[in-house]
Every structure is written in C-alpha cells, then in structure tokens.
C-alpha cells in the first residue's frame, strides 16, 4: 500500500499546538458548564428521584444538542434572569461569554503561517459582513497569547458556575474585577 501524502503545517511550533489544544479543552468545559447550569435551572425540584433526574438530563441534552454557543448563552442568560440572578453579575458574565467566544473564534477559524518575530506565528483571517464588507486581519501570535485566552475562558467558566450563588465568601473574588 502506498503511503498517503501528509499535510505539513506551516506553523510547526509544538507550544502553539499545545496552547491551541488547551484553548479547545477549556472552551469545551465552558460550553459544558453552560449546559449544566441550564439543566439545573430547568429542573423541577419538587420531583427529585434518580429516574426523573436522568430523564430531565436527557430532555435537556436533547434541547441543547447541536445548538450554537450564542444560543446557549441566550438560554443561560434568560433562565438566569427568570431565576433572579443579580443583574450586575449577569451583565458581566454575558459580556465575558460574548468576548471569549469572539476571541476563540478568531483563533480557531484562522489560517496560521510563519511569524515575523521570534516565538510568534502569523494568524490571518478574512471576513465578509453586510455592515463592514470584506475585512482582512493579520496578527503575530505567541503560544503565551493563546494560553492567556485559555486561562480567561477558565475564569469565565468559574463565573458561569457561580453566577446564581451569592453566599458570603463563595468565590467572591471572581466578581471583584472584570476579565480582560
């Protein structure tokens, strides 16, 4: 059997690939936390049994399966409002979710090439929107830049997990300052 040709990436920095992997895993954790919180807010707390809980989880999984991230954010924020979340926290976490999603999409949906400075690679992307027309962006990115976004996504995940909790001392430090 003849070996198949192998695609060789232009950006070969193993640190970059590791950082992009971390970004991917942290974003999946954020999406999972959103789904878990949505399920918690959909639960009927008066009917708690193992069977009903499994069925509620399955219904929530069906409802959320294949939904775009922005749709999950809409569901989450709407349910938080319905359940009485503190408005300042909800506004903060909504802005955080929109920001990290946009930043993650820049990295994930980009072309990668040789960098113009040591330790960096070139990230380029073009978009065509009704409002702005054709736009092209190009920036130098280091693995540290990607890891910083992954860490920011981790911070937002913690905020999502605690947005409905306001007890004293319970992750209060998450809400002292806005994310970058």
- Model pTM? 0.84
Of 50-59, 100-109, 160-169, where does the model show the most confidence? Answer: 100-109
Alpha helices in the chain (DSSP H): 14-42, 50-64, 69-82, 87-108, 143-162
Q: For residue 98, what are its two tokens?
A: 């929109």
CB burial class (10 A; 0-12, 13-18, 19+) of residue 53? middle
Mean pLDDT of 23-31: 97
pLDDT-derived band at 136, boundaries 50, 70, 90: very high
What 8-state DSSP symbol labels residue 172? G
Query: Can you tell me the distance from the alpha carbon of 158 to that of 58, in angstroms, rounded to the nearest whole number?
Result: 24
How large a percentage of the chain has pLDDT more than 90? Answer: 59
**CA dist., res. 126 & res. 115, Å (int):** 18
Interatomic CA distance for residues 52 and 29, integer angstroms: 25
Q: Output the CA torsion 36→41→43→46 (10° steps).
A: 140
Q: Report the C-alpha gap between 111 and 88 in whole angstroms.
A: 37
């Amino acid at each position: 059997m003849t070996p198949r040709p192998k695609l060789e990436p232009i950006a070969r920095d193993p640190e970059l690939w590791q950082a992009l992997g971390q970004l991917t895993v942290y974003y999946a954790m954020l999406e999972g936390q959103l789904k878990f919180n949505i399920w918690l807010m959909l639960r009927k707390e008066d009917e708690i049994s193992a069977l009903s809980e499994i069925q509620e989880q399955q219904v929530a999984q069906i409802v959320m399966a294949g939904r775009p991230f922005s749709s999950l954010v809409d569901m989450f924020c709407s349910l938080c409002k319905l359940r009485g979340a503190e408005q300042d926290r909800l506004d903060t976490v909504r802005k955080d979710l929109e920001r990290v999603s946009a930043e993650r999409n820049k990295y994930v949906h980009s072309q990668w090439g040789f960098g113009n400075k040591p330790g960096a690679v070139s990230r380029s992307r073009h978009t065509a929107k009704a409002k702005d027309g054709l736009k092209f962006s190009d920036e130098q990115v280091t693995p540290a830049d990607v890891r910083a976004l992954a860490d920011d996504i981790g911070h937002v995940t913690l905020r999502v997990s605690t947005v409905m909790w306001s007890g004293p001392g319970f992750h209060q430090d998450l809400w002292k300052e806005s994310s970058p």
